Chain A
Amino acid sequence: MNGIHDLGGMHGLGPVVREENEPVFREEWERHVFAVLNLTLAAGQYNVDELRHAIERMDPARYLQTSYYEHWLHAAEDLLDAKGVVTREELLRRAVEITQRSSAAASGTSHSQVSGAPNGSRAPGAGRLPSE
């Protein structure tokens, strides 16, 4: 498949920038994408070839503008939706709930404990449900 991912030999992409002593993960969410991907792979929700193909089907402009772990996240969402394991509607609903919970917590109008604020630099409960 001669898609945007086939970058070998392409011109105009600029210099190779190497950062000294960079961290393994730049952001907390990257840790979670890495873990979720590997655990769903291990659980047999999809295989590596399906993942790679899902990344290769990304919109070309978006592919170039997004990072490695965003590619992974895109592939997981895409495949899990296609297989009916976690639909886009569920994901969106959950994202809205999390946002509402964290803004309620921030304004002090809720008594419930919010675990895993979306923007926390290291939210120990990230991804866990408040009922847990």
Chain B
Amino acid sequence: MKPHGTHTDPPPSPALRVQALESLLIEKGLIDPGAIDEIVELFEHRIGPRNGARVVAHAWSDPRYKERLLANGTQAIAELGIGGMQGEDMVVLENTPRVHNVVVCTLCSCYPWPTLGLPPNWYKSAPYRARIVIEPRRVLAELGLELAAETEVRVWDSNAEIRYMVLPMRPAGTEGWSEERLAALVSRDAMIGTAVPTIEPRGGASPR
């Protein structure tokens, strides 16, 4: 492999490298400077796990929607106006009292952007990618999720196209709740499968 970018002293930082790259691409007319802030704003503030939580709450409230969601994730999610890059081939995995699902991308960091936003650092980290496939119960316990011994754990490793999202179980005691109130219970981690929704606040902070 050819070394690169090492002819300055010190070697260019990632900040300097991207600044150089960006300015050259703009100069060559290959990217639009206005679009840079736009796409960052979109993923920093507008696309995130609240989208996925809306999907989950709707599935909890409407059994027919849930059927459609499990049969064709992409299409059912699009019914709520959610879709796009990294969400073109969605598969939704239903948790049941017997089966708990958890999602990883061992080869890179594939993640369903339209429903969950950009992945958290731990999801992209080498330890999670390495360990969740060989010792899922232990990793889940370390992340605060103790599963019953009789619960089957299914680990889903994303491929180049498919993006997975977990449909968690609706917590008991939420009968008659509005979708909005239900959605507030659904954390990002519950849709990755490293947490489960509960009506008791855990740890006080906003849901992960």
Contact = CB atoms under 8 A, between A and B. Distances in A.
Given A92-B5, A98-B20, A127-B26, 11 more contacts: A8-B104, A16-B127, A16-B139, A18-B120, A32-B22, A40-B30, A48-B160, A86-B24, A90-B24, A91-B20, A95-B5
A29 to B, nearest CB: 4
A126 B40 CA distance: 13
Interface in B1-48: 1, 4-5, 7-8, 12-28, 30-33, 35-37, 39-40, 43-44, 48
Interface of B: 1, 4-5, 7-8, 12-28, 30-33, 35-37, 39-40, 43-44, 48, 85, 104, 106-109, 117-118, 120-122, 124-134, 139, 142-143, 157, 160, 205-206, 208
B121 A19 contact: yes
Contacts of B124: 68
A80 B122 CA distance: 29
A8 B110 CA distance: 14
Interface of A: 5-11, 13-22, 24-29, 31-36, 38-40, 43, 45, 48-49, 52, 55-59, 64, 68-70, 73, 76-78, 80-81, 85-86, 88, 90-92, 94-96, 98-99, 116, 118-119, 126-129
Contacts, number: 195
Given A35-B40, A77-B4, A28 B15 contact: yes
A74 to B, nearest CB: 8
Contacts of B131: 13, 16
